[in-house]
Structure 1
Amino acid sequence: MIALHHVQLAAPSGSEHAARAFWIDGLGLTEVAKPAALQAKGGCWFRAHDGERVTAEIHVGVEDPFAPARKAHPALVVDDGGVLDTLAARLRSAGFEVDERERHSFDGYLRFHTADPFGNRVEVLAPLA
């Protein structure tokens, strides 16, 4: 069996507050403490849960010099189109752009793309009913 544990995205030094605004306020993930041995490196970690089960984990790490991932990206799956639309509205109200031009371009799913505050691409999908 192979399972994905986490995806790491890069961010500039001192950008943890902006990362929290996107991952917590925008997408509803929960921040988790980094292990003590890694805290001095900066950055922050986030998780999504289904009850007690961790369903996604994103690590935002500091990179210097920083360059955003504009093509490579994590793709997060939500339950349905209603949740997808709610997240899109939540991101927009928090000041993040949501691109729905490819909403119907992935068989079996609805989707949108957005970017974190640093320009890293993020995709959010919902299975079609």
Structure 2
Amino acid sequence: MITGLDHIQLAAPPGTEDALRAYYADLLGMTETPKPPALAARGGCWFEAGTARLHLGIEADFRPSQKAHPGIRVHGIAALAARLSAAGATVTWDDHLPGHRRFYSADPVGNRLEFLEPEGTLTEWDPCG
């Protein structure tokens, strides 16, 4: 039986780890976690925030998905959208999910990301959380 979701894995092209660190750690406030030595040799990087764990693996013929994406629950969604916009990321708001505020954006390699916050929980976003 399924007991939970351990992590989400996204792909990235070779040599993009520094850009991914700048985005996921510096901009989003996630913590980079060390990969086991046997996996570290493959490249990529792992991040976490709260119970959310995201693994970025290197793929030689990488192409970002046009539809598949993780849904990342946040607090202070308006402040996060402003922070991403100020950093040059495109933020596309979508109001088609009742009871939530949400937008789509992309990481530096083009992975589609959905950020959402249940309505009625609007708080200031704290990247150190």
Structure 1 unpaired stretches of 5+: 50-54
TM-score, normalised relative to structure 1: 0.87
Q: Following superposition of structure 1 onto structure 2, how do residues 102-113 of structure 1 map, counting pairs within 5 Å?
A: 102=94, 104-113=95-104
Between Structure 1 and Structure 2, how many residues are aligned? 119
CA RMSD across the alignment: 1.1
Identity %: 50
- Residue number among 50, 71, 74 corresponding to 2:70 in the alignment: 74
The aligned counterpart of 1:52 is none
Query: Does the 8 Å CA contact 1:25/1:94 hold for their aligned counterparts?
Result: no
One-letter amino acid of the structure 2 residue matched with residue 17 of structure 1: D
> Runs in 1 of length 4+ with deviation above 2 angstroms?
none
Deviation at 1:108, TM superposition (A): 1.2
Does the alignment pair 1:94 with 2:87? yes
One-letter amino acid of the structure 2 residue matched with residue 128 of structure 1: E
Structure 2 unpaired stretches of 5+: 121-129
Give, in whole Å, the separation in 2 of the partners of 1:22 and 1:98.
14
Give, in whole Å, the separation in 1 of the partners of 2:92 and 2:73.
16
TM-score, normalised relative to structure 2: 0.87
Q: Following superposition of structure 1 onto structure 2, how do residues 12-23 of structure 1 map, counting pairs within 5 Å?
A: 12-23=13-24
